[in-house]
Structure 1
Amino acid sequence: MNNQGFQSKNKAMNILENEHRYLRYLMDEWHAIVLNFEKESYSDQQEALADFRNLRKLLIGFLDPLKNHTDKEERFFFPMLGTYIGLEQGPILSIEEEHQEIDAYIGHFLHHTLGDLEDLSIKEMKVRTRDAAEAFEVLMVHFVKEESVLFPMVDRVMKTVDVDQLTEELNTLIT
């Protein structure tokens, strides 16, 4: 590990890894609410409803940074690495499918929490948070796969000139 605490040895992957850290920070905020529903921590309807609404708000706020991050990976990182390891099968294809799965879970949650939420019982709110819980789980495994499988591949297979180009392309904000 270098002195910034990144696992990767190159700046391009450090950018993506740093974005993962930021996304994990945001995820921790909304996942805490999901865990409260899973643990059945709520007895007061209004408190549960306030947190449920906050969960929805936090997930909506999470979407832009997540989408900006995944767009960067799909537009720059995957195609560049794919020239070395292929795109039709293997880890890149699997990772791209996870992007779709994450989008589906969050989208499903948001779709099923549109409109007036006043009449939802605590039990119904708990059921609806399952999609957010699944999104969290897929994201956590997804980040580990990228950081332990794809990112190290860059150091092993990619030419320095391509890593330098990738660093320039990835060096944008996700917020």
Structure 2
Amino acid sequence: MSSCMSGFGGMPSAELKSKGLRQLKEEHPPLRSQMEGLFSLTQKIDKDIEIEVNFQELITKVKEFQAALDPHSEREEGVLFPMMGTYIGTTSGPIAVMEYEHDQAKAHIKSFLEQAAGSSASPDELKKLAGYIQNAYFILTEHFNKKENVLFPMAERMLSNEEKEELYQGIQKIK
């Protein structure tokens, strides 16, 4: 489904003047940092480096990441996407792709946490479970790039000044 965004790739980048769009973009670096830490742990698990210790740390860090990711996703799904959807629709195209990627990443994280809970699995099974987090990492890395380079600039050009203020006010309500 990611190919749906390719048709929008030729748009020139726009400076984000909207406070709300800037805030959403500024939430990415700390999330990316957490994602890099998660990926690093999965790599240690793959390389048989203190598998059990790193797996337990991975569980803890995934829960922390999920707690940071969920409100960010909610700001987009609950405020930005519907606003943009009034112009470009939500059942196909960029918004549908963004929501699909959110769903996929969340599903991988959920599967990991559900299956990892109280797991006394073998090292190979722990590696397989860590693969859920690797999949989420790859999805979200590409997803963030699409938002920063395509979706946010598109919203900057598309939304009126009043809508940009409404976006900012709306995302402030989600903590």
TM-score between both structures, scaled by the size of structure 2: 0.85
Identity %: 31
How many residues are treated as equivalent by the alignment? 162
1:13 partnered with 2:41 = no
CA contact (8 A) 2:101 2:143 kept: yes
Consecutive unaligned residues in structure 1, runs of 5 or more: 1-5
What is aligned with 2:11? none
The runs of 5 or more residues in structure 2 that have no matched partner are 1-13
Q: Could you tell me whether the CA contact under 8 Å between 2:112 and 2:132 is conserved in 1?
A: yes
Q: 1:9: Cα distance to partner?
A: 3.1
CA separation of 1:108 and 1:7: change in aligned 2, threshold 3 A: farther
1:85-139 Cα shifts (integer Å, max 9, x gaps): 222211001100111101110111112212143xx33332212211110000001
**CA–CA distance in 2 between the matches of 1:153 and 1:110?**
35
* Map of 1:58 onto structure 2: 61
Residue of structure 1 in register with 2:152 after alignment: 151
* TM-score (normalised: structure 1): 0.85
Q: How does 1:96-175 map to 2 (within 5 A)?
A: 96-117=99-120, 120-171=121-172, 174=175
Structure 1 residues 136-164: Cα deviation after superposition (integer angstroms, max 9, x where no partner):
00010111111111101112111111011
Note the aligned Cα RMSD (angstroms): 1.8
- Identify the range of structure 1 (108-117 vs 137-146) with the bigger mean alpha-carbon deviation: 108-117
- The structure with the greater share of residues assigned to helix is 2
Q: CA separation in 2, counterparts of 1:116 and 1:148?
A: 39
